[in-house]
Amino acid sequence: MNLFDNRRYVFIVFTVLIGLVFIVRLFFVQVVESSYKVSALNNSQSHVVVYPARGLIYDRNDELIVSNQAAYDIMVVPNNVRAFDTTWFCNILDITKQNLEERLQRAKNYSWRVRSVFMKQVSFDVAAILQEKMYRFPGFSLQSRTLRKYARPVASHLLGYIGEVDKRILEENAYYAMGDYIGVIGIEKSYENILRGEKGLQIFLKDVHNRIIGSYEEGKYDKPVKVGRNMTISLDADLQEYGEKLMQEFVGSIVAIEPASGEILTMVSSPTVDPNMLIGRNLGETIRKLSADTLNPLFNRALMAQYPPGSTFKTINALIGLQEGVLHTTTSYYCDYGYYYRGVHVRCHTHRAPLNLVESIQHSCNTYYCNVFRRIMEDPDYENTEEAFNHWRDHVASFGFGEKLGSDFTNELKGNIPTAAYYDRYYTSGHWNFLTIISMAIGQGELLITPLQMANMTATIANRGWFYTPHLAKEIEGEPNIDPKYKEKHYTTIDAAHYEPIVEGMDLAVNGGPGSTARIAKIQDITVCGKTGTAENPHGEDHSIFIAFAPKDNPQIALAVYVENEGFGGTWAAPIASLMIEHYLKGETNRTWLEQYVLNGNTKKKKNEEAAQGTEDTGNEEEG
């Protein structure tokens, strides 16, 4: 060990050396270099934070849908406040002296040295007058802010809104200061870092009278402001407006996707709010009020409502059956008003029998799918139901069910596809079979799917077996590409060829003549493929679902329409989907009768009910 005892001197020498380097450096910085010193006249610096304009948002047709408007906050640093003309100040701001004291106290409680908001969003005129006289009020300053402005009163769920940062964000992210705005939800939140830009800083020198006498060190320490970047989203504002109009009498949602790109064309959640209501100093109160509403207009049903898919799910079971080789296009089953097996009865409606695969989609036969489901679950290729179930579940998951799709929304939910483990727990292993879970044959039971996932499934069928993750971002200024995950094709586990009979069945469901379930969705010159569905609702009337895409070959639009508490999918959801498709592909509709039918909606029924029960109770428990 003695060998290394001298190494102690290395430590001592290094420590002393570093100390010397520091002292020399400090001597230069503090004593020699005058440039760091603020002049002896006690001139002080003034820091002005320059807020960038937030990025603009355009829709897919280059229509400017979100822009900015200026507003001014009065800020205060309590530590710098000196005696000032309170009477004049209170008069111009139209507040009492007591209120002035309260506001100052609130600022002091936040911090004596850090700037905080004294008064939010004063009018432009007041700001203009104050600007001139600001030097008379040391400690106070004007801060320009950017508020949003919306060209159309639509799409508030998808665009989201901006609001003041809360305490949690202030604590976690050093960029934001009290009073700053941040995207709270929707696109504004997802693309906050792109849209917000970056705050800049100007340092000025002030004299003893608190007047600015020039920039500090010729702006050497200033930080340039970076303007927020603009973005183009895939939304079709016109279609969105039309969709919201069609849904105004209903509770529910519409999601439309361009199958070839995965771009979201429309995302309606009804009831909705005019985004222009989500601006300004009363935002907090507005939000509180809206949240208290039983139908909660702020709740985004398109992403967060989870419903059983109903008969629309028959398409998936058919595809899995074909892929697993337990079902063929020629397979026929007889249906006598339902499926009976060991005391279990699944009812079916009136239609001709027997039906083959294509006809089973066209007529939406429950019996047929109970048989298909049994064949899948009792597939002799697998050892037991559990193994067969796991294969079935993998197929289902390949459509993006049971997990978040990964769209550019932060509040997307994942729905639910039960696992074998779940049934093992519930019924104990080996004590359940296809009959236990037969309701999933026709899309009921534990299955839960969001409208976005449903629209994505429709796009996948339209594409015959693949999808791009649904997304809104189309172009971002300054970035050559959007997130590569939106350019990645996801293939389902089903071969492309198996989709043809399903598409055929969906074609016939709309265009197949008498007995087809969705004849009301038919459009002249356009081959619409569709499928009705009804989501069982244990809390009230069932929800009506319709999925559709068009044209049949080279699909341009795929969509899912949900209307809550309105029963059979053909009644309302199908005509709404049909009108949406027509509006998107033709730009107009000449079926004004159908439009009127939807726009008048269930008013007749509503009136009857209101007369009967006084007030209507709309159970939207699905949102859980």
172 binds another protein (CB under 8 A): yes
User: In whole angstroms, what is the distance from residue 302 CA to residue 381 CA?
Assistant: 39
Q: Which of residues 27-46 bind another protein (CB under 8 A)?
A: 27, 29-31, 33, 35-38, 42, 44-45
203 binds another protein (CB under 8 A): yes
User: In whole angstroms, what is the distance from residue 262 CA to residue 489 CA?
Assistant: 9
Helix-strand-coil split of the chain, %, nearest 5: 40, 20, 40
The encoded tokens of residue 276 equal 């222009």
Q: Taking a C-beta distance cutoff of 8 angstroms, is the pair 277, 481 a contact?
A: no
Tell me which of Zn ion, another protein, none is bound by residue 115, counting a contact when its beta carbon lies within the kind-specific cut-off of 5 to 8 angstroms.
Answer: another protein
Tell me which of Zn ion, another protein, none is bound by residue 18, counting a contact when its beta carbon lies within the kind-specific cut-off of 5 to 8 angstroms.
Answer: another protein
**Could you tell me how many residues of this chain bind Zn ion (CB under 5 A)?**
4
Tell me which of another protein, Zn ion, none is bound by residue 427, counting a contact when its beta carbon lies within the kind-specific cut-off of 5 to 8 angstroms.
Answer: none
Q: How far is the CB of 404 from another protein (least distance, A)?
A: 19
Q: How far is the CB of 193 from another protein (least distance, A)?
A: 9
Q: DSSP class of residue 480? A: S
Tell me which of Zn ion, another protein, none is bound by residue 345, counting a contact when its beta carbon lies within the kind-specific cut-off of 5 to 8 angstroms.
Answer: none
What 3-state DSSP class applies to 352?
coil
Where does this chain touch another protein (CB under 8 A) — which range of 6-14, 57-65, 461-469, 476-484?
6-14
CA atoms within 13 A on the CB side of 512: 22
Tell me which of another protein, Zn ion, none is bound by residue 223, counting a contact when its beta carbon lies within the kind-specific cut-off of 5 to 8 angstroms.
Answer: another protein
Q: How far is the CB of 335 from Zn ion (least distance, A)?
A: 3
Which of 545, 547, 507 has the alpha carbon at shortest distance from 526? 507
Q: Which of residues 54-113 bind another protein (CB under 8 A)?
A: 77-80, 108, 111-113
Q: Which of residues 321-360 bind Zn ion (CB under 5 A)?
A: 335, 348
Tell me which of another protein, Zn ion, none is bound by residue 348, counting a contact when its beta carbon lies within the kind-specific cut-off of 5 to 8 angstroms.
Answer: Zn ion
| H-type alpha helices, 428-532 | 451-462, 499-511
23 binds another protein (CB under 8 A): yes
User: In whole angstroms, what is the distance from residue 274 CA to residue 340 CA?
Assistant: 51
Which of 72, 40, 67, 38 has the alpha carbon at shortest distance from 53? 67
Among 54, 60, 103, 115, binds another protein (CB under 8 A): 115
Q: How far is the CB of 108 from another protein (least distance, A)?
A: 7
| H-type alpha helices, 234-275 | 237-246
User: In whole angstroms, what is the distance from residue 72 CA to residue 75 CA?
Assistant: 9
Among 70, 169, 201, 421, binds another protein (CB under 8 A): 201
The encoded tokens of residue 145 equal 């802010």
174 binds another protein (CB under 8 A): yes
Encode 542-587 in three state secondary structure. CEEEEEEEECCCCCCEEEEEEECCCCCCCCCHHHHHHHHHHHHHHC
Among 4, 209, 343, 614, binds another protein (CB under 8 A): 4
User: In whole angstroms, what is the distance from residue 256 CA to residue 266 CA?
Assistant: 5
Q: Judged by CB, which is closer to another protein: 78, or 179?
A: 78
Q: How far is the CB of 199 from another protein (least distance, A)?
A: 8
Q: Judged by CB, which is closer to another protein: 229, or 583?
A: 229
Per the DSSP assignment, residues forming a β-bridge with 403 are: none
Where does this chain touch Zn ion (CB under 5 A) — which range of 363-371, 451-459, 560-568, 585-593?
363-371
Tell me which of another protein, Zn ion, none is bound by residue 108, counting a contact when its beta carbon lies within the kind-specific cut-off of 5 to 8 angstroms.
Answer: another protein
Tell me which of Zn ion, another protein, none is bound by residue 101, counting a contact when its beta carbon lies within the kind-specific cut-off of 5 to 8 angstroms.
Answer: none
Which of 549, 337, 534 has the alpha carbon at shortest distance from 442? 534
User: In whole angstroms, what is the distance from residue 71 CA to residue 145 CA?
Assistant: 5
208 binds another protein (CB under 8 A): no
Among 265, 278, 365, 594, binds Zn ion (CB under 5 A): 365
Q: Judged by CB, which is closer to another protein: 21, or 497?
A: 21
Tell me which of Zn ion, another protein, none is bound by residue 201, counting a contact when its beta carbon lies within the kind-specific cut-off of 5 to 8 angstroms.
Answer: another protein
CA atoms within 13 A on the CB side of 217: 15
Cβ neighbours of 231 (radius 10 Å): 23
Q: Judged by CB, which is closer to another protein: 77, or 580?
A: 77
The encoded tokens of residue 299 equal 């709740």
Q: Dihedral of CA 458/462/464/466: which sign?
A: negative
Which of 622, 607, 601 has the alpha carbon at shortest distance from 248? 601
What 3-state DSSP class applies to 600?
helix
Among 84, 96, 101, 114, binds another protein (CB under 8 A): 114
Among 11, 125, 132, 587, binds another protein (CB under 8 A): 11
Q: Judged by CB, which is closer to Zn ion: 389, or 568?
A: 568
Contact residues for Zn ion, defined by CB under 5 A: 335, 348, 365, 367
Contact residues for another protein, defined by CB under 8 A: 1, 3-5, 7-8, 10-12, 14-16, 18-19, 21-23, 25-27, 29-31, 33, 35-38, 42, 44-45, 47, 77-80, 108, 111-115, 171-175, 198, 201, 203, 221, 223
